[in-house]
A and B are shown apart, each in its own frame.
Chain A
């Protein structure tokens, strides 16, 4: 039996897509979620700040998750089911409680979200005791009253780091410090100072974690500040942020990943992957954005799927490939549908100034906008899709003033 659409991942992206598809008249939508409940990451975030864009409310995470599931009623939810592979022909392999199963659909949406960068890729030195963990694990332990730590040190200063501080204080732990390797926090410094005061936790910039001490359990960390090292006793290390797409399923033979850029699946301007039956949306595309942004992507991808099901999506080939010089990443990585309007999304490695320009293969500027980034180094630009016969690729760059 072939379903209309299979959605892999029941977070904000997947659930919003399900809602859009059902409203668009698709009957047979299956959401496959590996956790015992749908809802995605918000299920574990007790703090308020959810639902503003899509439900016009300010909710805590679990409330938002429930609203998403409710809005997608009519879909079939398969929980405790993990997709292990996507194969050509609209096939997904699913590990269900009743054994391994093969499922098939006319279209598949990949919406598997993110995870934080664990210890190893950060190349942190020292011993490998229990108690070095990501915010995700830390918050879940705290939420279930299982936190076996009382004096964590928090590494990183993206928003999620402050979320970790909040969780720690809420659970009665006493974080020792929040350390940021760079000279500036990743959030506006007022946010940092406010959090430092509110949670009574010292926030230290230009301070690098050098070594973890302790054999079975964490006993402390060596930190380096302006060339000098100091020992900071603590019983755990919370490594926050540096999110990366949970895009393992894109490593098979149906979908490919943008290994040098987003690290998520390669998509075109219709959220369509290499295999034209597979679409992708949400944080799996490029790392963390807030849920409102992600929900919108889920909606837009679902709209593309609706068009695909009725056969009026532009052909996936030929396409114009999109690349960047100088920026961290850009997506979509391909453009199809000559003459249509498309939006490119990019991220800088740091806050910067200068115009953002898109050039075609002959270096002609085909779109331009101010590229100043103030708080978030996130960028987007709108352009008209050029003819692949004229332009083999489009390059997105930041124009620095000629000397």
Chain B
């Protein structure tokens, strides 16, 4: 029996979903609605399996997938011939082929990997060789060409490599689209439902969760930061999660134009290093740090590291000093003692492990999901893909495309910084497929309270609209 910090939730959209579960024996139960679980859920449903996605948080994306750099990697710097490399490249390609149908953004800004000293400069050759072995050709820039491409970089930039296809996406709408498509095609999503234990008998798992039990023939463990704990249900876990925290700073939209591409440093064996990237929402992102820690649940901000991050950022881009900071956040990478992904099908246990998706999961998700379904087919029997699945789309939140706020007949704007209208918020709360389950989920779906004033103007309206729908927003009763 594993014990988690309980999420105090009073009401969720899922209370009404249990009738879809009782008395059923699903083909697969997927544990964890991070980006990986979301993609696997979609793939399973589109492959014709009956699937349930079980998430302990009040909404999807409450774990590692809540906070990342939002880069769709090419895998140019992956260790060649690893599973990670293969799945990053497949994930990238598959994202590019489905993003339009799902209404997802893709900003092909490219990356500039900058050498800041002679050691860096010497490493560029090695990096370019690895990249070409990985099938990603890079172009070399000398200092003059680099300055022409990125004129705002600090004076010590010496040269660079250009990675053409590194892209920026929206880290939240992508997994939301995957889950939505699965639900639209018959998948069942259960949130505020923590898997606590499971028993395997007669070819099926009976999965114990806090509200009730769920039956499924195969369990797919996509529990991210809790991957090893959930794995222990099936077997002694062959990996241990060693969370590595990354803190970020989001700069105001005024800083967006300071760079034209993603600015990467020369990576070290442990981390890709501090990156500066445009976001799909028109901000500029600085980070992440890489800090090992024991706590799997809490990604706390720390003043010292944020200050150091700002100093590092201003070395890369001195003009950052003139721009406001809009937000700071932190995420945890589900790293393990292994460098590569831990993906495996256990035929006898009716179990598929998908663990240790450390720092490339957003990119690789659609590659991982295809790989997992291939493993399923090899191990547990043939798939019958849906002939004509539905393709619901998610609302556009990026600056690159027209937003609903500028449409004629729009409802009043609630959040001015991010141009979120009342009907955007209502749509996220009332979404028939995956309605927002927490205030964080509402922010991720609409961007309300995410702009430069961070809710100075819109908190009241948001609370008014969401009160009674999301937990914890009721006016406090006072005894004074």
On A, residues with C-beta under 8 Å from B are 34, 36, 80, 82, 84, 95, 97-100, 115-116, 118-121, 123-128, 130, 133-134, 136-137, 140-141, 143-150, 169, 171-174, 210-211, 215-217, 235, 244, 246, 248, 251, 257, 259-260, 263
Check A125/B302 contact, CB under 8 A, given A97-B412, A120-B327, A248-B254: yes
Quick one: which of B290-342 are within 8 Å of A by CB? 297-303, 306-307, 322-330
Contact B328 A149 (CB under 8 A): no
Q: How far is the CA of A174 from the CA of B454 in the complex (A)?
A: 24
Q: Which stretch of B73-81, B228-236, B470-478 is in the interface?
A: B470-478
Q: How far is the CA of A311 from the CA of B476 in the complex (A)?
A: 58
Contact B453 A115 (CB under 8 A): yes
Q: How far is the CA of A147 from the CA of B480 in the complex (A)?
A: 14
Q: How far is the CA of A9 from the CA of B459 in the complex (A)?
A: 20
Check A97/B409 contact, CB under 8 A, given A173-B476, A217-B472, A260-B322: yes
**A residues within 8 A CB of B58?**
216
Closest to A134 in B: B456
CB distance from A244 to the nearest CB of B (A): 7
**A residues within 8 A CB of B299?**
127
Check A97/B410 contact, CB under 8 A, given A134-B455, A148-B472: yes
Instruction: Name which of B299, B326, B456, B471 has the most chain A CB atoms within 10 A of its CB.
Output: B456
Contact A150 B478 (CB under 8 A): yes
CB distance from A221 to the nearest CB of B (A): 13
Contact A215 B297 (CB under 8 A): yes
Quick one: which of B151-178 are within 8 Å of A by CB? none
Closest to B474 in A: A148
**A residues within 8 A CB of B438?**
216
Check A148/B475 contact, CB under 8 A, given A120-B328, A125-B300, A216-B8: yes
Closest to B322 in A: A259
Q: Does B18 contact A (CB under 8 A)?
A: no
Contact A171 B478 (CB under 8 A): yes
Contact B300 A120 (CB under 8 A): no
Check A215/B298 contact, CB under 8 A, given A34-B413, A120-B249: yes
Q: Does B406 contact A (CB under 8 A)?
A: yes
Closest to A251 in B: B254
**B residues within 8 A CB of A100?**
406
CB distance from B286 to the nearest CB of A (A): 12
**B residues within 8 A CB of A244?**
324
Check A137/B456 contact, CB under 8 A, given A173-B478, A260-B322: yes
Contact B408 A99 (CB under 8 A): yes
Q: How far is the CA of A116 from the CA of B307 in the complex (A)?
A: 21
**B residues within 8 A CB of A116?**
456
Check A172/B298 contact, CB under 8 A, given A99-B410, A146-B467, A244-B324: no
Q: How far is the CA of A97 from the CA of B408 in the complex (A)?
A: 6
Which listed residue, B249, B325, B328, B439, touches A130 by the CB 8 Å rule? Answer: B439
**A residues within 8 A CB of B459?**
133, 137, 140-141
- What are 28 A-B pairs with beta-carbon distances under 8 A? A36-B412, A80-B413, A82-B413, A82-B416, A95-B405, A99-B408, A100-B406, A115-B452, A118-B327, A118-B456, A120-B327, A123-B303, A125-B300, A130-B440, A133-B456, A137-B459, A148-B463, A148-B475, A149-B476, A173-B480, A174-B478, A215-B5, A216-B7, A216-B8, A217-B472, A246-B453, A248-B452, A260-B322
Q: How far is the CA of A215 from the CA of B57 in the complex (A)?
A: 12
Contact A172 B480 (CB under 8 A): yes
Check A137/B460 contact, CB under 8 A, given A119-B454, A120-B454, A173-B478: yes
CB distance from B280 to the nearest CB of A (A): 18
CB distance from B11 to the nearest CB of A (A): 14
Q: How far is the CA of A95 from the CA of B403 in the complex (A)?
A: 11
Q: How far is the CA of A128 from the CA of B8 in the complex (A)?
A: 16
Contact B408 A127 (CB under 8 A): no
Closest 6 CB pairs of A and B: A172-B478, A99-B408, A118-B454, A137-B459, A259-B322, A140-B460
Contact B250 A120 (CB under 8 A): yes
Q: How far is the CA of A235 from the CA of B454 in the complex (A)?
A: 18
Q: Does B253 contact A (CB under 8 A)?
A: yes
Check A120/B325 contact, CB under 8 A, given A133-B455, A146-B463, A171-B478: yes
Q: Does B101 contact A (CB under 8 A)?
A: no
Which listed residue, A115, A146, A149, A210, touches B464 by the CB 8 Å rule? Answer: A146
Quick one: which of B395-428 are within 8 Å of A by CB? 405-413, 416, 419
Q: How far is the CA of A173 from the CA of B323 in the complex (A)?
A: 36
**B residues within 8 A CB of A99?**
406-410
Binary A-proximity of B42-62 (CB < 8 A = 1, otherwise 0): 000000000000000010000
CB distance from B267 to the nearest CB of A (A): 27
Contact A126 B300 (CB under 8 A): yes
**B residues within 8 A CB of A118?**
326-327, 452-456
CB distance from A214 to the nearest CB of B (A): 10
Closest to A138 in B: B459
Closest to A258 in B: B322
Which listed residue, B301, B326, B474, touches A125 by the CB 8 Å rule? Answer: B301
**B residues within 8 A CB of A127?**
298-301
**B residues within 8 A CB of A98?**
408-409
CB distance from B470 to the nearest CB of A (A): 9
Quick one: which of B417-459 are within 8 Å of A by CB? 419, 438-440, 452-459
CB distance from A254 to the nearest CB of B (A): 14
Q: How far is the CA of A144 from the CA of B322 in the complex (A)?
A: 37
Could you list 14 further interchain pairs (A-B, Cβ under 8 angstroms) beyond the known A123-B328, A137-B455, A216-B472? A80-B413, A119-B454, A127-B299, A137-B459, A146-B460, A146-B463, A148-B472, A148-B476, A169-B480, A174-B478, A211-B300, A216-B7, A248-B253, A257-B254
Q: How far is the CA of A265 from the CA of B7 in the complex (A)?
A: 46
Closest to A117 in B: B324
Contact B324 A124 (CB under 8 A): no
Check A141/B460 contact, CB under 8 A, given A148-B472, A216-B8, A216-B472: yes
**B residues within 8 A CB of A140?**
459-460
Q: How far is the CA of A141 from the CA of B464 in the complex (A)?
A: 9
Contact A141 B463 (CB under 8 A): yes
**B residues within 8 A CB of A144?**
460, 464
Q: How far is the CA of A174 from the CA of B411 in the complex (A)?
A: 36
**B residues within 8 A CB of A147?**
475-476
Closest to A80 in B: B412
**A residues within 8 A CB of B477?**
150
Q: How far is the CA of A24 from the CA of B128 in the complex (A)?
A: 69
**A residues within 8 A CB of B307?**
123
Closest to B476 in A: A150
CB distance from A97 to the nearest CB of B (A): 6
